[in-house]
Structure 1
Amino acid sequence: MTANSDVNSTARLPYIGTLPGTAKARGGSLFQPRHDLWHLREGTHELKLNFYELPELEPEFKNAFKAALFWYAQNHSARHLGNLFYRSKTLFRFKRDATSEPVSEISDIDLLNYKSAIGEHRQWYLSGLSGFLQQWSRLGLTGISTSAVALLQQLRLKTNEKGAAIATMDPLNGPFSALELEALQTALNAAFARRNVDTEEYVLCWLLMMLGQRATQYAALKVCDIGVVHERDGSSTYSLRMPRAKTRDSNARGEFKDRVLTPEIGALVAKYAHAVRTRFVGLLDEPSDAPLFPGQKMDGAIVGFEYHQTSAQIRNKIIKVMRALEVISERTGDRIHIGPKRFRQTVGTRAAEEGHGELVIAELLDHSDTQSVGVYVRSTPAIVERIDRAVAMQLAPLAQAFAGKLIGVATEATRHDDPTSLIRAPAITGTIDAISSCGKHGFCGFLKPIACYTCNSFEPWLDGPHEKVLTYLIAERERLMAVGDARIASINDGAILAVAEVIQRCEDSRDERSAAYG
């Protein structure tokens, strides 16, 4: 055999890629490409690719698949790499199940069959794989037929439909209603007061509800990102330097955007951050570099992220805390479905309701452009136009806005011997007579008695003038609706439902007493 024939013979052999024993991913973590378990850590994102879980693949095809993924590991984010792995796994499983044979190649027929099987609404499954399969072929790797590449170049596939849950106000996957969000906030405050929720969980959940950022952004926060400016008049301004943690960037803290916090939440976050910093004195050379939401020290984490929780851990913590509140939705009559993305959607929806345009909403949600925020402006859900007594009574059992404790008489109050615990409402009742009690020790700056009905320290009396309060609130709502300020008119909707619930509880209590005493 001549030298030329040797070369030609070698060229005809399928190229499956050459993998090193150890390599560094784009995010900086070391992994072993030849192994069947890849473990990569990129900032706050942890990725494990288990090739043992794949459908049966021919050895050469499997090695080529690894080589294609290896290129992405060195040139793209770990999150994108994970998406490609799992989308490919679905395609491979489909072919294996269809042929009952090990997978050795992906052809145009395989792709057409897969496209038909997943249906029109899931074409984005294949759309997400198209670029990967074409790059696989461009790398000269075996496994993707020439006809498959030609087909992918011709196909016009639909991308993932975005915004459907927002546009339809989906009660399971879309934005929360105003009443749902207020109920979650009230329940979270009550759980924190009872110490069922710790400070870290409380701060994390409130920052999520206020800012609506992604879980990976909260995971990337450090103590030094909290800013406090003390003004000459004695007040303080609080801000948060939020890492952008963009998907295509391997450095979760490569860019930042400043967010202003309300004084109440800002003061709490600053106090919490100081406590975290104190915990890391002696552990880090600069304790201010400690993560705002720290976890256990992670082996293999890149420098600066050793004590950071992963985005998955942050997401799971949010879901666990908020689900434990067991808040009922007035729309479904069941416990509110919790997902961090819903809080993000709610921030965008409320901004649209307040009249903000696409540029402002994109800034709030930290989008690089306005492509994904148009749905908020186009699909602004309407405020409930009318809440009268009948509607309030119907919604009250579902909303569960009342968080206090009904008592029979003033002497049953927690602070019955303290005259400052008495609540009066002369503007509503026309007298200075007390109508209820407060069980809280210390100063309260909220408007009485409207804010009281949704407070867990509130102790309404059985014979209190709650009907007068309800009548007043509904009349005030109608007045504001008449002048066209729907957003302001709806502010006290939660309080209206809480008063209605108190009225119902009073009626039930009276019925029980009547039945007991004949």
Structure 2
Amino acid sequence: MSKNLEKEFVMAGSDICPSLPSIVRSKSGIAFDPNRLAWSYRDGVDSVYMDFSGLHFTPTLMASVRLTLIWFAENRAPSTLMGHFSGLKVFALRLQKARVEPLESIGGNDVLIHSDTNDFRTRNLFAFLRRWHALALPGIQDDVVYVLDRKKLRKRETGIAVLTWDPELGPFTPIEQVGIQDALNEAYGAGRLSEEIYLLAWLFIALGSRPVQLAALKVCDVVRTVAADGAESYILLVPRAKQQNPLLRQELKPRALVNQIGRPLFHYAQRVSERFIGEFPDTQQAPLFPFPPQSRYLVSGQGWGRYHRTSESLRRLLVSALDKLSVRSERTGAVINICALRFRRTLGTNIAREGHGVLVIADLLDHSRTDSAGVYVAATPELAMRIEKATALYMAPLAQAFKGQLIDHEGSAIRGADRSSRIIDLRIDQSARPMGSCGSFSFCGLIAPVACYTCQCFQPWLDGPHEAVLDFLLEAAKRYPDGRIAAINDRTLLAVAEVVQLCRSRKDQAHGR
């Protein structure tokens, strides 16, 4: 705390209106003017904005409010500061609603009447009022703490979305997750997604990190090591978040990356580094996911957060990009609701399904305690069902996993004159009857015909043995006692079922049914 601010607190016991310092520095060293009508500045990867114009307070009360907020700015993370202001503002607007004169003090009765224990912001309000009282600033009556000590807040419910497998905010089902990953790879391969968004999305999937953590990454956090035999390995140093220390990059946690993600991420990081030659003495300190060159926010911010995207802009970037993929849920038939938190909840659920305990889950999700991790263990019995044929045929139109084009015969295929384009599997049909044609002219290393049904290049024939493929996959799933292994082909199974239904429908139309 600054010496000037300490002097203001000494004055607080009198009736004199405390004055504000001309400049305040946040915990991370960002300077701002606390006398402005609105506080607006960048602090790391957080964008701080607090507008005081709607608060109808006396000068003394307003000064006390601002001085208390200054304490939070100097001692807590920016998100904590904004949370406390939000809680106070909601409370103050209720309190001053029926008043004409400016509000001059807050008493215990005001807290009893105008605070909502069901509102999540009330916790922030109570913490703010306690700090205000502890600083001995004018405007808050002594009975407020008495009321705070006796007013019970509603217990915060955690893990409901995970436990109920909420289709909007809970973890993705395995079928939904595969659908998102397939759509992501397909869109990137077709040039509809930038490399930045593609890698960012895969980090959310693989690590379950919070947006603030990925927004704080720098080029130097992508580390490659090469063994004596030439084998490469990759580590990402992820800033810890939501810990006691509000300085984001003070503690970095190493997370191993598979080479399929680590290698392209490393080369991407080096290209980002080159873009900032002349901007940083050491370009390895450049942000891994910077604002685009044309952005008006490019040079905003002070300190280590310069050129970094804010956590909110990174979250919006992910959501807007993946929403365009329009992946549908087999549960609802609607486009899957994409948000960063769902990737985090999916990772926690998947770790629990692999049989790991709360300590491992808490460590990989970067929790300081194991309380929240227990929710994932409790949720593991979830959707542990075997997909039967009737279920597959019902769910198939909802999932829309089939991406190809049904054709009447080989002559309608893109490569109809090329007999090597036929998709055949003697395990399914010993007469070698083709399922369809491959419309791709490039090499494919995937296993036909299982991988074909979810590929946009596949052209199934109307008279192909698709029901036999469906029965083959269903029987194969029964051979695995572990449902996790059997579920690997669930999305493919739904794609085959969709082709079966499309064939039935077209044949019915041809016969006038």
Pairing of 1:200-219 with structure 2 (within 5 A): 200-219=196-215
27-36 or 430-439: bigger deviation: 430-439
Equivalent in the alignment of 2:4 = none
In the alignment, what sits opposite 2:87? 87
3-state SS of 1:467 partner: helix
Answer yes or no: is 1:452 the counterpart of 2:452.
Answer: yes
**Alpha carbons 1:77, 1:247 under 8 Å: kept:** no
Q: Which residue of 1 is the match for residue 270 of structure 2?
A: 274
Instruction: Find the counterpart in structure 1 of residue 494 from structure 2.
Output: 497
Do 2:299 and 2:307's aligned partners in 1 also have CA atoms closer than 8 Å? no
> CA–CA distance in 2 between the matches of 1:11 and 1:87?
23
Task: Encode CA deviations 1:380-419: one digit per residue, 9 max, x unaligned.
Answer: 2423423111110110111111122223333433344555
- Determine if contact 2:30/2:303 at 8 Å carries over to the other structure: no
Q: Is the alpha carbon distance of 1:399 and 1:263 closer, same or farther for their aligned partners in structure 2, counting shifts above 3 Å? A: same
Q: Aligned partners of 2:241 and 2:12: how far apart in 1?
A: 43
Q: Indicate how the Cα distance of structure 1 residues 426 and 313 shifts in structure 2: closer, same or farther if over 3 A, else same.
A: same
Letter in 2 for 1:429: D
Aligned-residue offset at 1:86? 0.4
Amino acid at match of 1:49: M
Instruction: After TM superposition, give the deviation of residue 99 of structure 1 in Å.
Output: 4.5
What does 1:147-166 align with in structure 2 at a 5 Å threshold? 147-166=143-162
Distance 2:171 2:272 in 1: 32
Match of 1:289 among 285, 291, 312: 285
| Distance change in 2, residues 1:326/1:103 (3 Å) | farther
TM (norm. structure 1) is: 0.90
Matches within 5 A, 1:165-176: 165-176=161-172
Give the aligned partner of residue 31 of structure 2. Answer: 30
SS at match of 1:281: coil
Work out the CA distance in 2 between the residues paired with 1:233 and 1:411.
Answer: 52
Partner-residue secondary structure (3-state), 1:136: helix
Residues 20-419 of structure 1 correspond to what in structure 2 (within 5 A)?
A: 20-52=21-53, 54-99=54-99, 101-115=101-115, 118-119=116-117, 121-122=118-119, 124-231=120-227, 235-246=231-242, 248-295=244-291, 296=295, 298-419=298-419
Alignment partner of 1:508: what SS? Answer: helix
What do residues 187-237 of structure 1 show as CA deviations (whole Å, max 9, x unaligned)?
222222332221111111111112110001111112222223345666533
Alpha carbons of structure 1 residues 420 and 219: separation in structure 2 relative to 1, 3 Å: farther
1:129 and 1:138, CA in 2 relative to 1: closer, same or farther beyond 3 A? same
Deviates more, 1:331-340 or 1:412-421: 412-421
Return 5+ residue gaps in structure 1 as ranges.
1-9
Deviations 1:99-151 (A, max 9, x none): 46532222111111134xx35x43x4323322221110121211211111221
Shift of 1:433: 4.8
Give the drift of 1:160.
2.5
- SS state at 2:223 partner: strand
Q: Is the 8 A contact 1:169 1:381 kept in 2?
A: no
1:145 aligned counterpart, secondary structure: coil
Amino acid at match of 2:94: F
Point out where structure 2 has 5 or more consecutive residues left out of the alignment: 1-10
Letter in 2 for 1:507: R
> How far apart are residue 27 of structure 1 and its match?
1.6
Task: Letter of the 2:319 partner, please give it.
Answer: I
CA distance in 1, matches of 2:227, 2:419: 37
Residues 27 and 247 of structure 2 are in contact (CA less than 8 Å); yes or no, is this contact kept in structure 1? Answer: no
Give the direction of change, closer, same or farther, for the CA distance of 1:16–1:486 in structure 2 (3 Å limit).
farther
What is the alpha-carbon distance in structure 1 between the residues aligned to residue 443 and residue 158 of structure 2?
Answer: 46
How far apart are residue 289 of structure 1 and its match?
A: 2.4
Deviations 1:403-458 (A, max 9, x none): 22223333433344555543222222235454322233444333222122122232
Secondary structure of the structure 2 residue equivalent to 1:137: helix
User: Is contact 1:14-1:141 (8 Å) kept?
Assistant: no
Structure 2 residue matching 1:446: 3-state secondary structure = coil
Q: Aligned with 1:427: secondary structure?
A: coil
**For 1:151, what is the secondary structure of its paired residue?**
helix
Q: Secondary structure at the match of 1:49?
A: strand
Deviations 1:325-369 (A, max 9, x none): 222222223222222111111110111112111011111111112
Distance 1:429 1:276 in 2: 51
Work out whether residues 421 and 437 of structure 1, in 8 Å CA contact, stay in contact via their aligned partners in 2.
yes
Relative to structure 1, the CA distance from residue 430 to residue 208 in structure 2 (aligned partners, 3 Å threshold; closer, same or farther) is same
**Cα separation, 2, equivalents of 1:464 and 1:197:** 34
RMSD across aligned C-alpha pairs, in angstroms? 2.4
Alpha-carbon shift at residue 282 of structure 1 (Å): 4.0
Residue identity (%): 39
SS in 2 for 1:493: helix
Deviation at 1:153, TM superposition (A): 2.7
Q: Secondary structure, in 3 states, of the residue corresponding to 1:490?
A: helix
SS of the equivalent of 1:258 reads strand
SS in 2 for 1:429: coil
| Matched residues, number | 499
Q: Secondary structure at the match of 2:96?
A: helix
Identify which range, 293-302 or 106-115, moves more after superposition: 293-302
- Classify 1:403/1:479 alpha carbon distance in 2 versus 1 (closer, same or farther; 3 Å): same
TM-score normalised to structure 2 length:
0.91
Deviates most, 60-69 or 416-425: 416-425
CA distance in 2 between counterparts of 1:421 and 1:276 reads 41
Counterpart residue number, 2:429:
429
Alignment CA distance shift 1:11-1:455 (3 Å): closer
> How far apart, in 1, do the equivalents of 2:109 and 2:274 lie?
62
- CA–CA distance in structure 1, aligned partners of residues 417 and 474 of structure 2: 33
